[in-house]
A and B are shown apart, each in its own frame.
Chain A
Amino acid sequence: MKEAEQKTTHFGYKTVAANEKAAHVADVFHSVAAKYDLMNDLLSFGIHRLWKRVTIASSGARKGQTILDLAGGTGDLTAKFSQLVGDTGRVILGDINDSMLKVGRDKLRDRGLVSNIEYVQMNAEELPFPDNSIDVITIAFGLRNVTDQSKALASMYRVLKPGGRLLVLEFSKPEHEVLTKLYDIYSFNILPKVGQVVLNDSESYKYLAESIRMHPDQETLEGMMKDVGFEQTSYQNMSGGIVALHRGFKF
């Protein structure tokens, strides 16, 4: 009984068995995959594109590198990285959810981006790559869905090459109280309604709002990165802290 209590985690505001969270998250993303890009544009007013631009600018990606776009979803970052690393490099689009991977693969292939991209269904906690094999890892709006985030960060640290860097783009804690209140009103009242209208699914967007509140704040996440070995860690708040880009290096 005690062991069973220890192996629980949060799924939004609910507490679920740790080994069931991945399945719950999978259900959410199976539901939203088809209109994921549209919903991102609608709900963030297109600003998610700027957040991703900042991530790419911070990545230092260049010709010949191997880049892992974890929880890469529909491949926004992968598309840009694919062009930056060129034919001599490679980009691995990894996601635990096969629906998201399929949408991403179809989208990138339609754009003619085929030569240097691999698609791998993977769990961020158990990355299927050798030690010291990846130059840059990005995980954009994916870490909060991972069951054991510290284990995932440790796995990322393991596969990064010395000198490699991890970029975590994730919703975070707004810096100002007024913004927090406005953001709460938006998240809990408008987000689920838009989800209901566009996808006939308000629950997935209720989970989105709840999972953001349960995600570690900026300082805590930076601490978690340090704990697994990352050095020169830093974070950059964007849009008043609604989103933060964390960066850490392996030396």
Chain B
Amino acid sequence: MLGHFAIAAIETLANRLISLAPQVQARLAKVQGQSLVVHVRDWQQFISVVYASEGLMLQVHDAQPEYSDCFISADTDTLMKLKEPSRLTQLIRQHKLDIDGDIHLAQAFSQAFSELDIDWPEHWSQYIGDAPAQLLWQAVSQGKARALEAQGKLDHILLTLLQDELKVSIHPLELTQFTRQNRQLKSDVQQLEQRLDKLLAQMPMQQTRG
């Protein structure tokens, strides 16, 4: 029941977004009535997606539905990579992705939502007026830019930390050089020891002579 509740919430949100983006409706109209089934391997769930006259219909199934125009099986990480068509072959060869049916259907859904471009100030202006809507949009845009900048800095810090961390472990070449230097030092110490022994051996003789 929780899965159905979650998918109902996602369906409502998706349909709200679609209603605000006429270009998405136009793109999805081309695949109206066709059924895409996605098997999310790490969730062990099958999700069917159909774009119909009243909008997107999402359903969650415990078992694979008997019929679909396109069936995709992958884990969530792989599903995120499907935006890049050039990687499909590689993912299939790595057994990270199974596709049965018309892949263009999956790409049509993916493309429609990845190019979602909603004129938010236009929609907000109906509720709060033009000027406040524009100001709100600017504030949101600036906030988004700052968030992206902060994320970039955080990523950089994390990367630096990880690289510094990597220096803790010795590179093989460093180890070879260290071993070589250690051997040299050992050899020098041995030579010094021999010289010292030799000198010490000469000392009683000089004392005897004196």
Which residues of A come within 8 Å of B, CB atoms? 49-50, 53-54, 56-57, 60, 62-63, 79-80, 83-84, 86-87, 111-113, 238-239
Are A238 and B1 interface neighbours, CB within 8 A?
A: yes
How many A-B Cβ pairs are below 8 Å? Answer: 44
B53 in contact with A53 (CB, 8 Å): no
Contacts of B121 in A (CB 8 A): none
Cβ–Cβ < 8 Å partners of A56 in chain B: 59
Known: A57-B59, A60-B67. A83 touches B53 (CB 8 A): yes
Query: Nearest chain-B residue to A49 (Cβ)?
Result: B8
With both chains docked as a complex, state the minimum distance between the C-beta of B14 and any C-beta of chain A, in angstroms: 15
With A60-B67, A63-B33, A239-B1 given, is the CB distance from A50 to B8 under 8 Å?
A: yes
The answer to whether A84 and B53 touch (CB under 8 A), given A50-B4, A50-B8, A54-B1, is no
B180 within 8 A of A: no
A62 engages B57 (CB within 8 Å): no
B4 touches A84 (CB 8 A): no
Q: Separation in Å of the B86 CB from the closest CB of chain A?
A: 32
Residue in chain B with minimal CB distance to A58: B61
In the complex, are the beta carbons of B54 and A84 less than 8 A apart?
A: no
Residue B197 at the chain A interface, CB threshold 8 Å: no
Q: Which residue of B lies closest to A84 (CB)?
A: B50
- Separation of A233 and B98 alpha carbons in the complex (Å): 31
List of A residues within 8 angstroms of B1 by Cβ: 50, 54, 238-239
CB-CB under 8 A from B67, the residues of chain A are 60, 62
Q: Within the complex, which residue of A62, A113, A238, A239 is in contact with B53, where a contact is CB–CB below 8 Å? A: A113
Question: B60, A57: Cβ atoms under 8 Å?
Answer: yes
Max chain B Cβ within 10 angstroms of own Cβ: one of A49, A54, A238: A54
B65:A60 contact, CB within 8 angstroms: yes
Identify which of residues 9-62 in chain B touch chain A, using a CB-to-CB cut-off of 8 Å.
Answer: 33, 35, 48, 50, 52-54, 57, 59-61
Other-chain contact of B52, A49, A53, A84 (Cβ < 8 Å): A84
Chain B residues lying within 8 Å of A83, measured Cβ to Cβ, are: 50, 52-54, 57
Q: How far is the CB of B33 from chain A (nearest CB, A)?
A: 4
Residue B127 interfacial (CB < 8 Å): no
Given contacts A84-B52, A87-B33, 17 further A-B pairs with CB under 8 A are A50-B1, A50-B4, A53-B8, A53-B59, A57-B48, A57-B59, A57-B61, A60-B65, A60-B66, A79-B54, A83-B52, A83-B54, A84-B57, A86-B52, A112-B53, A112-B54, A113-B54
What CA separation (Å) do A54 and B8 show in the bound complex?
11
B57 touches A57 (CB 8 A): no
Q: Are B35 and A62 in contact (CB under 8 A)?
A: yes
Closest chain-A Cβ to B8's Cβ sits at a distance in Å of: 6
| A238 neighbours in B (Cβ, 8 Å) | 1
Chain B: residues with CB nearer than 8 A to chain A?
Answer: 1, 4-5, 7-8, 33, 35, 48, 50, 52-54, 57, 59-61, 65-67
CB neighbours of B7 from chain A (8 A): 53
CA distance A53 to B67 in the complex (A): 18
Tell me which residues across on chain B come within 8 A of A80, comparing CB atoms: 57
Residue on B nearest A87 in the bound complex, by CB = B33
Contacting pair B4 A53 (CB below 8 A): yes
The residues of A that contact B48 with a CB separation of less than 8 Å are: 57
* A145 nearest CB across to chain B (Å): 25
A111-B54 contact, Cβ under 8 Å, with A60-B67, A62-B67, A239-B1: yes
For residue A218, give the distance in angstroms from its CB to the closest CB of chain B.
17
| The 5 A-B residue pairs with the shortest CB-CB distance in the complex, in nearest-first order | A83-B52, A57-B59, A86-B33, A62-B67, A53-B4
In whole Å, how far is A162's beta carbon from the nearest beta carbon of chain B?
A: 15
A63–B8 CA distance with the chains assembled, in angstroms = 22
Residues of A within 8 A of B54 (CB): 79, 83, 111-113
With a cutoff of 8 Å between Cβ atoms, the chain B residues found around residue A60 in the complex are 65-67
Query: Could you tell me the distance between the alpha carbons of A113 and B53 in the complex, rounded to whole angstroms?
Result: 8
